[in-house]
Amino acid sequence: MHIAVVGLSHKTASVEVREKLSIPEPQLENAIAELTSYPHIQEAAILSTCNRLEIYIVTESTEQGIWEVIQFLAEHSQLGSPILRPHLFILLHHDAVMHLMRVAAGLDSLVLGEGQILAQVKTSHKLGQQYKGIKTILNRLFKQAITAGKRVRTETSIGTGAVSISSAAVELAYMKMENISTCKITILGAGKMSRLLVQHLVSKGAGRICILNRSLRRAEDLAKLFSEHPIQVRPLAEMLPVITESDIVFTSTSATEPILERGNLEPIVCSNRGLMLFDISVPRNVHSNVNELEHIKAFNVDDLKAVVAQNHESRRKMAQEAEGLLEEEVDAFDMWWRALETVSTISCLRHKIETIREQELEKALSRLGSEFGDKQQEVIEALTKGIVNKILHDPMVQLRGQQDVDARRSCMQALQMLFNLDVETV
């Protein structure tokens, strides 16, 4: 079995491409079922965020497994593999393992060290198990990566400063419009990213915020978290009249189609006011055709790169500290992986010896007849089990602990030959 990851991220593809590949949560079950129905994909997990789409697989044949993932991506995005391929990265075994650890730790994020990615890796692990894409190997890999992500955040200072895509978007807005405290600011969406938007906006002194959401209740709950600030709430249906009065609009909903576009903004944008749009959603909530409007300036997640460059510089040292820690987690996974290879030989050996023990015990007890009561029989049974366990203990420990791949494989072959083990049938 081999582990591989095929994917694309903010480093390899623009938001225009990423949004076509994004797999929203409601589509995950079907996507996992489709992936695992390919003949060479034994396990599959999907990590779909605003910055990346990554598919982790366990496959008997790396070449075939990867080809099947690319087929799946081409069909899903309808981009066709020649267009898709230049944006894809492919990593195998050790590199794939290290990559997931780095992703979980926030070291591969657009905003270095951001905390949201760890929760997204956890969700991907949970849903992958629920939809039966994640089995033994990816389960262990994701668990190890989550441990790595937690350790990096608790044992290094990379997570300090509460950085996120939302904080970068607020920073960009602040750079573009210094008088943010007097601006009328509208936020579309009331989820996790909107909460962070509000948090950073109020810390920058923004005083005129209105949250609009499909469910008004959720917008009200969000406003209550900042009850010392006069935050207004409105249903999303009222967005156009509210935007008419706004200077800045942030969009952060999980809508899969644009909410704002030239058609609905053109009639409401006032020439002497102007409007800035900051869209942190992927797929985007703001259509690129709004840039055709003279009085609108629209920014999306890819435009945050300029802001985060500064953040990267100051966090590079902390990231180096974290990389060392990740090596330890990769080693722990590798050790488990190596031990896994020995499982079938060990179970086969145990099964054979256990069968001999049971047969010989039965013969002996039947020869002894009724002379031995239950108590004596139990003692003899415990004695045989004890002898078997003690004999098997050392070879098993030696085999599992053998670090050298070739030496370990020779030991397994020797055991299989000497004990005449049929590993395939157990």
Contacts to ligand NAP by CB under 6 A: 50, 116, 165, 189-194, 213-215, 218, 236, 252-255, 280-282
- Give 166 or 402: the residue with its C-beta nearer to ligand NAP: 166
- AA letter at 100: L
d(CA 96, CA 141): 10
Q: Is 50 a catalytic residue?
A: yes
Task: State residue 399 phi and psi, 5-degree precision.
Answer: -65, -50
Q: How far is the CB of 238 from ligand NAP (least distance, A)?
A: 13
Closest by CA to 87, choosing from 54, 114, 119, is 54
d(CA 344, CA 409): 12
Tokens, residue 336: 């488990």
Are 147 and 329 contacting, i.e. CB atoms less than 8 angstroms apart? yes
Closest by CA to 187, choosing from 205, 171, 208, is 208
- Give 218 or 351: the residue with its C-beta nearer to ligand NAP: 218
Q: How far is the CB of 22 from ligand NAP (least distance, A)?
A: 7
Q: How far is the CB of 218 from ligand NAP (least distance, A)?
A: 4
Residue in the block written with tokens 């992958």: 128
Q: How far is the CB of 220 from ligand NAP (least distance, A)?
A: 11
Are 8 and 18 contacting, i.e. CB atoms less than 8 angstroms apart? yes
Tokens, residue 426: 């157990």
Q: How far is the CB of 168 from ligand NAP (least distance, A)?
A: 9
Closest by CA to 3, choosing from 144, 148, 113, 149, is 144
- Give 166 or 246: the residue with its C-beta nearer to ligand NAP: 166
Hey, what long-range contacts does 414-419 have (CB within 8 A, 24 or more apart)?
A: 415/345, 415/349, 416/345, 416/348, 419/349, 419/352
d(CA 278, CA 176): 11
- Give 163 or 190: the residue with its C-beta nearer to ligand NAP: 190
Are 80 and 273 contacting, i.e. CB atoms less than 8 angstroms apart? no
d(CA 122, CA 99): 15
Closest by CA to 118, choosing from 131, 137, 103, 139, is 103
d(CA 141, CA 335): 12
Q: How far is the CB of 191 from ligand NAP (least distance, A)?
A: 2
Q: Which of 50, 183, 210, 348 is catalytic?
A: 50
- Give 191 or 207: the residue with its C-beta nearer to ligand NAP: 191
- Give 9 or 253: the residue with its C-beta nearer to ligand NAP: 253
Q: How far is the CB of 264 from ligand NAP (least distance, A)?
A: 14
Q: Which residues are marked as active site?
A: 50
